[in-house]
Each structure stands twice: as structure tokens, then as C-alpha cells.
Amino acid sequence: MKKYIIVILSVLLLTGSLFSISFAWFTYIKRKSVATFVSNEILVDLEVNDAIFIDDYVLSDLAFVDFQNDFIEDQYGLIDSLASSIIINIELSNSSPLSRHFIQIQELSTEGLLLLIMYEGLDLTSEHVFESSYHALLMTILSEYATKQEMIDALELYNSSVLEGLSTILVYPGSVMTIQIAVWGDYDGLIEKDGYLSDTYRLDLTIESINARGVS
């Protein structure tokens, strides 16, 4: 079954620390509050014109899949349910200016890790159904390519284009932008296969909220 990453944050005065199956450190300068960063049960203030940087976000307990048989061909019809899903909400306070969000994930192409980034929308209601047909979406991205490297490059380009597109969306005060990241372990991409089930993977994420009236 699909694994959802649930994390709980304890915020201190100068640093934030996250404890569960994964952890993170948050650094920022206190200025006028513009937005909050939320990932499931994470909640951290994001400041005007400052970036919030999640360093050493560790992914563990991943399902490792065969790239060709599972990720591409989905021979057993399980690839969707094997994904670990991270839901990220970026919420503007009612006193925030009209804003744009710039999101970066370092190393979109990482040995042993497969990422699929999806924009879910603004101000989702309780009736919203999150994207879960990952394989169908993957096929629209990768079907025209022949080699694994071409597919990896195409997936990285797609993820980059999703993040770039997010920066063009105007977010109004009180609105919430939601994205989803589906993650799999790539067994074929492992550099060292011994003990791979106990490996962890680092996901560095930067989110910056900018006053949209000051950005062209």
C-alpha cells in the first residue's frame, strides 16, 4: 500500500528540529511574516524575501523497484501503491501581500532515487482527490524515450518545469498552494546494493516567498 510520510515539527527560537522517520533543520531570519510551510504535520513560518531551507530531509523506508519492469512497464500493477508520497502546502496569511513561490529541490536526479513532482492546485477543498495514477502520468512523460538515461533526463526536465511553473502562479492572501512529491527507490540505480534497505536519502528543499508586485 502507498506510504505517506508523516512528520511532526518542534520549533525552537533559533532552529527547528523534526523528529519521526525523517528529520530536518530549518534556518531563517525573523522578518515580517508572509507565509507558512506545511508538509503534512510540518508547520514553519516563511519570511518576506527570505528562503526557508530544509537541509538533510531524510527519506527512509522506501520501496525499491526495478526501473524497466516496475517503473516503466508496471508489470504487476503495483507501482502506484509502492510510492511514498509527500504532500506540501504553502499557506499565505491573510495579511500577506500577493506573492509568488520559488521552490527548488537540489539534485532532482539522484542515484537510487526516483522523484515525480505534481502541482495539486490552490485552496483545495476536502473533496479534492490527490493524484495517485503516477504510472499513467509517467508514461505521458517517458513513453517516447528508449534508454534509461533518456528517461531519467526527461523526468528531471519535467520536474524542473513543474517547479518553474509554480513560480508564475499568483497566490493571494489566505490562499494555500499544494504540491505532491512521489518517491521510489531505484534498485538499478544503487551504487552499493549491499544493505540498501537500511539506506536513507537526502532531499534538500528550498522555498522562497516573494512579493509578486516586486517581481517581473
Residue 35: Cβ within 10 Å count: 26
Which H helix or E strand runs over 9? strand 8-11
Q: How many CA atoms lie within 13 A of 201 on its CB side?
A: 28
pLDDT at 177: 86
Q: Write the pLDDT tens digit of every residue in 54-100.
A: 444 456 567 888 999 999 999 999 999 988 888 888 877 777 788 88
What pTM value is reported for the model? 0.74
Mean pLDDT in residue range 102-119 = 80
Q: Write the pLDDT tens digit of every residue in 26-65.
A: 333 333 444 444 443 333 444 434 445 444 445 656 788 8
pLDDT at 185: 84
Q: Write the pLDDT tens digit of every residue in 131-140.
A: 999 999 999 9
**Per the structure, how many domains does the chain have?**
1
Q: Does pLDDT of 179 surpass 50?
A: yes
DSSP string, 66-128: -IIIIIIT-TTS-TTTT-EEEEEEEEE-TTPPSEEEEEEES-SSBTTEEEEEEEEEES--TT-
Q: What does the CA dihedral 106, 108, 109, 113 come to, rounded to 10 degrees? A: 100
Gap between the Cα atoms of 77 and 51, Å rounded: 39
Gap between the Cα atoms of 2 and 85, Å rounded: 8
Question: Are 86 and 5 in contact, with CB atoms under 8 Å apart?
Answer: yes
Provide the residue range defining the domain that includes 39: 3-214
Q: What type of residue is 17?
A: S
